[in-house]
Structure 1
Amino acid sequence: MADSWPLQLLTFLLSFTLWGYSVAMSDDGRVLLQFRATLSSGGGDAALSSWAGGKGPCMDQNVSAWTGVYCENGNVSTLQLENMGLSGKLDLDILTGLLGLRSLSFSNNSFEGPVPDFTKLPALKSIYLSMNRFSGEIPDGMFSAMRALKKVWLSHNNLSGRIPSSLTVPTKLMEVGLDGNKFEGKLPDLRQPELRMVNVSYNNLEGPIPERLSNMSASLFEGNKNLCGAPLGVSCTPSKKLAPALLVGIILIAVKVLTLLIGLIGFLLRRRAPKGKTTTDKLQPGKSKRIEDLEAASVEKGSADHDGEKKKVSKKEQGKLTFVAEGRRKFDMQDLLKASAEVLGSGNFGSSYKATLVDAPAVVVKRFKEMNGVGREDFQEHMRRLGRLSHSNLLPLVAYYYRKEEKLLITEFVPKGSLAHMLHGNRGSTESPLDWPTRLNIVKGVARGLAYLYEELPMLTVPHGHLKSSNVLLDQSLAPLLADYALVPVMNKATASKVMVAYKSPECARHGKPSKKSDVWCFGILILEILTGEFPANHLTQGKAGAGDLASWVSRIASEERASPVFDKNMKGTENNEGEMLKLLQIAMACCETDDESRWELMTVLEKIEEIKGE
């Protein structure tokens, strides 16, 4: 017995060591490692190589070094494993151990078999399983217990049978994507108050479209031969079928009439066009032309013919516009090219035009030349993702146009223009400069818009990526609208590092890569610009991103006790508000910490800003 005690001691120490490792590794970490072991992939294992050892995926509360894992309050909240070549059957049983899990995305992989059983994860808010190989029917009661569900996307699989009636149960449902499958039967009577998109296009559905969905875009229901009612414009009242011979006759007559109309319109347009005019006039901002002419004047379309005129882009090459915004009157590329337009400016990405359409609100068309970082499908998926965003402080994306060489993004026209113009281009005008209460409200609106982007796009390192005063537009009430957001995933990496503001943050100067807090740094600089009226570019040290910036200038000439010298002297409404202004200045400086580890989290910034009360 005495001889066995060393062996017992050794066994105890080994057990203690293993127990210590188990404690060190978080519960969420163990669950994810077990889940990874169930995955089959063609490269997915390498993509998830960061899932290993340590204390687990959420060491820094809300920041994870594990690929595709996003945390909240120290727990895994989002699992985003897109485009990783994962295959086999998707078993979610193991993930029931992730108590904080709220969003799942396995889009664009090769999973097959039946749709996973989501009833085991009733707290999910978002489900993205589009572009896989799931097949078969979805049990009718699948979504009965999912009271928190907001978004479910199962597009472009091989699903069949009826759409589950249990989709009527989640009261917070906002988006449903079931397009590109083989669903049949009638649409469930969805009536959720926050529902804004239901895409069931290209299935085998029949019957009337529910009244709640009748104000959505017709494109969300196309490709179903037997669907009827608004917005398709197909009557649900049965009608007698025409005899084949009569139907052919009607079609032939319609084609002839259409041909005559096209010829007549072309003749009238040629008569109205000024003779001897070319489309190579020099472009000037504010000069009204057609976008078709503006493009010919500003872009090389091809080699010149014998008369020296540029070749026009053919209709086939022009492609078509894809709309992502709901409730807007649609137009096609020809309407856009023929619209009265003026140049708004030329930025780092390309030119911007204001297009005034017939019987439709004016829009802004932005031409991007440096968006060849992703293929067509990835680009379209990201644009659809941006189209699903909806917030009072975001400028919504209306439509986009894809061509390999260039892309167009179409947004609403905002008459008041940019914050940069109001701060720096308005000197000497009759319009009063922005006062303190207005500037504070602008800061609050920008913070809320940023927080929404961080919540809705947790998979992006920099959910905005290009935050600056010229990308903050002001509506009629001077409320801010963020523009040019979330474009990093579709930009060439080299171009992004040269022109996007987040890539000029101090951590990019040190490591060459932006961090999750690079947007916060940009926001801090923007707040200082609003408070001081100083243009940030005037304080940059040539060739040193993040060095000699506006924050450094402010810190040199101001102190916590006496910051008044830095405030914009043209700012009105500052009486008795210097204490509040000083609080905002301190928040801005906390956003501009050179060390991103010491820099405040965005949600902390938002909370502190909301505490400031304006006049």
Structure 2
Amino acid sequence: MAKCNKITCHWLLILSIFPICFIPSFSDDGNTDAKILIKFKSYLSNDTALNNWKEAIAPCNGDANNWFGLICVNNTIFGLRLENIGLMGVIDIDTLMELSKFRSLSVMNNSFDGPMPNVNKLVGLKALFLSANKFSGEIRDDAFNGMKYLKKVYLAENEFTGHVPQSLVDLPQLIELSLEGNRFEGHIPDFKQKEIRVLNLANNQFEGPIPESLSNVDPSNLAGNKGLCGKPLEPCKSSKKHTNLIIAITVVAVAALAIIIIALSFLFFGRLAQTSEYKVAQDSKAQNKFQNYNTGLKEAHPNDLPDDFKKENGDLHFVRKDKERFDLHELLRASAEILGSGSFGSTYKAVLLNGPSMVVKRFKQMNNVGREEFHEYMKRLGRLSHPNLLPLVAFYYRKEEKLLIYDYAENGSLASHLHARRGLGEAGLDWPTRLKIIKGVARGLAYLYKEFPTQMLPHGHLKSSNVVLDHAFEPRLTEYALVQVINKNHAQQYMAAYKSPEVTQYDRTTKKTDVWCLGILILELLTGRFPANYLRHGKGNNADLATWVNSVVREEWTGEVFDKEIKKSCKNGEGEMLKLLKIGMCCCEWGVEGRWDWREAVGKIEELERKG
């Protein structure tokens, strides 16, 4: 059995109700690091989340952290992950310089303000996450000088101004850069790094032509900059030449053409009027054709499905023999409603005339997959059959985008029951229902692991919005096994698995990465809290929910983390809830080696079924 080393002794306390826990001794190095961090903390305010930073306790225990917010590797402090805890004050870079192996700093979503910290003093830094604070002003041009190991820079959602510093542009190992939501201005610099995979410059004040090296980035990563032009956005307008030669030629040309212009003016305006009348007639014809076409998906979202879908011959490809056949034309004519618009595209509920309700998912981020490869892979997905998978029924292929058609689940997504519906006054899910849901999710995930034994991410996007519930509240996994066909850059920015600690810190997925997603889902289901990191593009804010749960359990030794709705519905079952909480925390253990694998996680959840 693998060990969940960060919390093992704590859970012996909870389950055995012993009053004390073994605290490992630590070396002189550990003692020195503790003093350094206590000094660093002294410059912070609103730091109640750091109350367990005490010199009597070793900061690290192997790869596990005893102090909140530390990233530990071999009993050494590798980094700080102090996110979403309202910190203020000064980030004392000079003190952090005393940590010999310090490589990662994240203070995202706090209340730090003032100018950019002097991070270039941390010459060994590999990852810097300062997003969602109140930093402001221009960043010095030499702010990143000498940081030859720096790979990830996240400065989004601050108040930075001025030009992008050249030292940032020149970082030799830069692979991820997030600057969106600031007030950077001027021309976008030409990033030459060949390995860069995340580059988000949206919602700033950039202007001018986009460098050719960025012509293939996702347009959404450049949106919100009104002055930008060029591929992948709108083409740039031709600029005027203002040299003396051009002025002279223009004057001569105007004089020479003046008589011709006057002579032809009536003919010109006559033809212009004819052209305008023709254009109005054509526009009216096109509008009538559109209005008379259908009242289905196009009415639900007038600009969503492209016009040329109407030219197709209903070439839907069915992957299940037990489903009623229909063509694309019937699907477009079906009454429809938009269920949501996520990171991959829009999702619709389509009610076919005298037929069943279907879910239509539109994917725009699969255009790197060839037709034959896509057809074969969809047929493979169509052969999957499990009670806890939402079955793929059919698909439609276009180079620019794809449609996947699934069965419809009557009770919507798990996320809507945990969050949105309760906000509208509906009762929350009770404990027996939540236990049934997590059992089904675990079984569905286990089936995917068995069906895709060679894939690192058999699901890849496991989260509460991708768990839907049928009429009996049985869970069905959706958007599963799509990592193989989603464009890599888009997957790395948006898919849940790519927000795991091993991807954030070490740029690698493992066979336990989907288990981390399962752990986060368990904690979300038990606490009723939404994992805010899933709302952010790219990586950086990983286990904020797991960190919060761990800190509360470790300090209070109670079940206070549980959603009030399940505590009301489960008078004698808190012991089972605590066991599931332990399973969730062992599934999202920060270190991969200490994290449970899928077999152990599913086995422990099945034991809850037998004892529940």
**How far 1:224 sits from its partner (Å)?**
1.1
1:524-603 equivalence runs, <5 A: 525=599, 543=609
Q: Could you tell me how far 1:229 is from its partner in structure 2?
A: 1.6
Q: 1:146 matched to which residue of 2?
A: 147
Contact 1:154 1:177 in 2 (8 A): yes
Unaligned runs of 5+ in 2: 1-24, 242-274, 297-308, 311-319, 351-358, 364-377, 422-453, 470-475, 486-495, 529-545, 547-574
Aligned to 2:341: 320
Counterpart of 2:289?
A: 264
Deviations 1:307-356 (A, max 9, x none): xxx9953x5xx553334xxxxxxx55569838699986676586766643
Match of 1:203 in 2: 204
What is aligned with 1:51? 53
The 5 A counterparts of 1:407-422 are: 410=479, 413=482
Q: Provide Cα deviations, 1:360-404, integer angstroms capped at 9, x if missing partner.
A: 56576898722366799xxxxxxxxxxxxxx98446969999799
- The AA in structure 2 aligned to 1:111 is F
Does 2:218 correspond to 1:171? Answer: no
Q: In the alignment, is the contact (CA less than 8 A) between 1:90 and 1:112 conserved in 2? A: no
- CA deviations 1:434-475 (Å, max 9, x no partner) are xxxxxxxxxxxxxxx99995532469xxx98x96xxxxxxxx
Aligned pair 1:34/2:50, yes or no? no
How many residues were matched structurally?
405
Contact 1:24 1:55 in 2 (8 A): no
TM-score w.r.t. the length of structure 1 is: 0.52
Q: Could you tell me which residue of structure 2 aligns to residue 102 of structure 1?
A: 103
Following TM superposition, by how much is the alpha carbon of 1:525 offset from its aligned partner in structure 2, in angstroms? Answer: 3.5
Shift of 1:70: 1.2
Extract unaligned runs of 5+ from structure 1: 1-19, 241-249, 274-282, 295-309, 324-330, 377-390, 417-448, 468-481, 528-535, 548-615
- CA spacing shift, 1:174–1:286, aligned 2, 3 Å: farther
Q: Determine the C-alpha separation between the residues in 2 that align with 1:157 and 1:21.
A: 39
How far off is 1:71 after superposition? 0.6
Residue 227 to residue 513, structure 1, CA distance change in 2 (3 Å): closer
CA contact (8 A) 1:151 1:174 kept: yes
Mapped to 1, the partners of 2:76 and 2:465 lie a distance apart of 39
Contact map agreement 2:347 2:362 (CA 8 A) in 1: no
Would the aligned equivalents of 2:462 and 2:497 in 1 still touch at CA under 8 Å?
A: no
1:523 paired residue among 597, 600, 604: 597
> Given residue 72 of structure 2, which amino acid in structure 1 is its aligned partner?
C
Distance 1:491 1:36 in 2: 32
1:456 to 503, 513, 516: 503
Task: Verify: 1:370 aligned to 2:414, yes or no.
Answer: yes
Rounded Cα–Cα distance in structure 2 between residues aligned with 1:185 and 1:539: 55
Deviation of 1:291 (Å): 11
The one-letter code matched in structure 1 to 2:229 is C
Structure 1 residue 524: Cα displacement: 7.5
Specify the alignment match of 1:230 in structure 2: 231
Aligned residue in 1 for 2:360? 337
- Structure 2 residue matching 1:322: 3-state secondary structure: coil
Deviation, 1:267, is 2.5
Name 1:493's counterpart in structure 2: 524
Counterpart of 2:76 in structure 1 is 75
1:486 counterpart letter in structure 2: C
- Counting aligned pairs with the same residue, the percent is 27
Distance in 2 (CA, whole Å) between partners of 1:251 and 1:66 is 73
**Normalising by the residue count of structure 2, what TM-score does the alignment of the two structures yield?**
0.53
Aligned equivalent of 1:429 = none
Contact 2:124-2:150 at 8 Å conserved across structures: yes
1:541–1:197: structure 2 CA closer, same or farther, 3 Å change rule?
closer
In structure 2, how many angstroms separate the alpha carbons of the residues matched to 1:258 and 1:484?
Answer: 54
- Sort the Cα spacing of 1:256 and 1:40 in 2 relative to 1 into closer, same or farther, 3 A: farther
Answer whether contact 1:175 1:198 (CA < 8 A) is retained. yes
CA shift at 1:40, angstroms? 1.4
The whole-number CA distance in structure 1 between the counterparts of 2:106 and 2:182 is 18
Of the three residues 356, 368, 384, the one matched with 2:396 is 356
What amino acid maps onto 1:356 in structure 2? Y
Aligned AA for 1:493? E
- Structure 1 residues 312, 408: closer, same or farther in 2, change over 3 A? farther
Match of 2:19 in 1: none
CA 85–146 in structure 1, closer or farther in 2 if over 3 Å, else same: same
- 1:54 is paired with a residue whose SS is coil
- 3-state SS in 2 of match to 1:71: strand
Paired position in structure 1 for 2:64: 63
Q: Which residue does 1:244 correspond to in 2? A: none
- For residues 384-399 of structure 1, the aligned pairs below 5 Å read 393-394=456-457
Secondary structure, counterpart of 1:183 in structure 2 = strand
Aligned-partner SS, 1:198: strand
How far has the Cα of 1:84 moved from its partner? 0.3
Which one-letter code corresponds to 2:234 in the other structure?
Answer: G
